[in-house]
C-alpha cells in the first residue's frame, strides 16, 4: 500500500494511510502527507473490472471534461497522476491503484434523511448529465459489457430458469411468471436506441445517493463519485436507477412487501432536481421515457436477483437464506406500484416539464 502511495505525485511525503468509507468493490484508503494534505487511494478490484486500463481511460476522460466545465475544486473528482504521468499504478502483484484529491468538508449518505437530500442527489446527477451532454459517449469503453441491456438480461434470466442450478424453480413459479409477463416491454428502450430515437449518452450506471458528495454544512450537491461504471448508455437508465433505489418506501431487501411503495413525493422531488439541471439538454423522447427508465431498471434488477437465487446465490452477496429472492420480490412489488401509479407519474413529469419550460 505504501509503495503504491509513493508512486503518485502528491504534495509532501505520505505519512498516514487508513481504510476509508464502506465500499464493497474497491479497497479505499485516506492518504495524508506531511504537508497536511489528504488524498483518496484506491485499489481497483481487477476481478470485477477485467480491463482496468480501459476503465481508467473512461474515468480520466470524464473527470477532465467535468473539471474543465466546472473548475471549482470540490465539484468534480480529480485524479493525481503517478510520477511517470500515468493515471494508475500497477504494482508487482498485478494490483491496480489510483489516487484522487480528497474532497474536504463533504459527506456521503447511504439513505436520504429528507426529501431535500434526495432532491440534491438529483441535482448532482442532473448536473453530471448536463456537463457531459456534449461529450462523445461513443469514445468510452464498455467496462461491463451490456450492463443495462435489459433484453440480454432476460436471455440470461431464461437460461437461469431453464438450468435451475439450485433446484429452487418450483417454489418461485409465480415470480418467474411475473417477470416473463413483462419481457416484451423490456426491449423498448434498446429498440429506440437502435432506431436512433434515443441518443447515446455518458451514463453513470450506479446512481444511488451514496455516490453523491454533499456539502457537510449546507447539504447541497457537490459532485458525483464512483465512476467505474461510467460508459455509453441511456439517460433514462440513470434517472430510473435513482428512482428505483431512492423513491421506494422500503429497503431493497424488505420482507414485508406491504411496506414497499413508490413515494410520488420523492419521485417528484427527484424529477424536478434532475430536469432543472439537464432538461434542456434532452430530447422530448428522452424526457418522455424517464418513467419507463424507472420501471425497467427496477424490473431488470428484479430478474437479476431472481436469476441469482435460481443459480444458488453465486453473484450477489447474501446474509440470510432466500436473501436474493427477497430482493427480487421487493423489486417486483415496486414495479407493480409504478404500474398502479403510472398515470400519476406521467402527470408529475408533465407538470414539472411545464413549470420548467421544457415543452
Listed by start position, the domains of the chain span 2-104, 115-355
| Dihedral over Cα of 239, 323, 46, 32: its sign | positive
Q: Could you check whether 2-104 and 115-355 share the same CATH topology?
A: no
Task: Say what the alpha-carbon torsion angle 84, 89, 90, 95 is, to the nearest 10 degrees.
Answer: 170
Q: What is the mean pLDDT of the chain?
A: 95
Q: What is the pLDDT of residue 239?
A: 98
Superfamily of domain 115-355: Aminoglycoside phosphotransferase (APH), C-terminal lobe (3.90.1200.10)
Q: Are 86 and 59 in contact (CB under 8 A)?
A: no
Q: What pLDDT, in 10s, does the model give residues 270-290?
A: 999 999 999 999 999 999 999
Sign of the alpha-carbon dihedral angle for 343, 347, 353, 354: positive
Lowest mean pLDDT of 11-25, 84-98, 134-148, 326-340, name the range. 11-25
> Which class is domain 2-104?
alpha beta
What is the pTM assigned to this prediction? 0.94
User: In the numeric block, which cell numbers belong to residue 242?
Assistant: 435513482
Question: pLDDT band at residue 22, thresholds of 50, 70 and 90?
Answer: low
324, three cell numbers: 436474493
**Per-residue confidence (pLDDT) for residue 24, from 0 to 100:** 66
Which pLDDT tens digit goes with each residue over 88-118? 999 999 999 999 999 999 999 988 899 999 9
Q: What is the pLDDT of residue 128?
A: 98
Grid coordinates of 294 = 424507472
pLDDT band at 23 (very low <50, low <70, confident <90, very high): low
Amino acid at each position: 500500500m505504501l509503495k503504491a502511495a509513493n508512486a503518485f505525485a502528491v504534495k509532501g511525503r505520505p505519512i498516514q494511510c487508513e481504510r476509508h468509507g464502506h465500499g464493497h468493490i474497491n479497497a479505499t484508503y485516506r492518504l495524508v502527507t506531511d504537508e497536511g494534505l489528504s488524498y483518496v487511494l484506491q485499489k481497483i478490484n481487477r476481478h470485477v473490472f477485467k480491463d482496468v486500463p480501459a476503465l481508467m481511460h473512461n474515468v480520466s476522460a470524464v473527470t477532465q471534461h467535468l473539471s474543465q466545465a466546472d473548475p471549482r475544486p470540490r465539484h468534480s473528482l480529480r485524479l493525481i497522476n503517478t510520477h511517470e504521468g500515468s493515471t494508475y499504478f500497477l504494482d508487482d502483484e498485478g494490483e491496480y491503484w489510483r489516487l484522487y484529491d480528497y474532497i474536504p468538508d463533504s459527506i456521503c449518505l447511504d439513505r436520504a434523511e429528507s426529501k431535500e437530500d434526495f432532491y440534491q442527489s438529483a441535482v448532482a446527477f442532473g448536473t453530471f448529465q448536463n456537463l457531459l451532454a456534449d461529450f462523445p459517449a461513443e469514445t468510452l469503453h464498455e467496462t461491463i459489457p451490456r450492463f443495462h441491456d435489459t433484453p440480454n438480461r432476460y436471455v440470461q434470466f431464461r437460461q437461469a430458469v431453464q438450468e435451475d442450478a439450485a433446484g429452487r424453480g418450483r417454489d418461485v413459479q409465480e415470480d418467474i411468471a411475473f417477470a416473463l409477463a413483462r419481457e416484451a416491454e423490456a426491449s423498448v428502450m434498446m429498440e429506440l436506441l437502435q432506431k436512433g430515437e434515443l441518443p447515446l449518452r455518458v451514463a453513470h450506471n450506479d446512481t444511488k445517493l451514496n455516490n453523491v458528495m454533499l456539502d457537510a454544512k449546507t447539504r447541497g450537491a457537490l459532485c458525483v463519485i464512483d465512476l467505474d461504471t461510467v460508459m455509453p448508455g441511456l439517460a433514462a437508465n440513470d434517472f430510473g436507477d435513482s428512482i428505483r433505489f431512492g423513491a421506494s418506501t422500503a429497503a431493497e431487501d424488505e420482507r414485508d412487501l406491504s411496506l414497499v411503495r413508490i413515494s410520488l413525493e420523492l419521485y417528484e422531488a427527484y424529477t424536478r432536481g434532475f430536469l432543472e439541471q439537464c432538461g434542456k439538454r434532452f430530447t422530448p423522447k428522452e424526457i418522455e421515457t424517464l418513467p419507463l427508465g424507472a420501471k425497467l431498471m427496477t424490473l431488470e434488477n428484479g430478474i437479476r436477483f431472481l436469476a441469482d437465487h435460481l443459480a444458488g446465490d453465486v453473484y450477489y452477496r447474501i446474509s440470510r437464506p432466500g436473501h436474493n429472492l427477497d430482493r427480487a420480490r421487493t423489486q417486483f412489488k415496486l414495479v407493480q406500484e409504478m404500474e398502479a401509479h403510472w398515470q400519476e407519474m406521467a402527470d408529475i413529469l408533465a407538470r414539472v416539464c411545464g413549470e420548467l419550460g421544457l415543452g
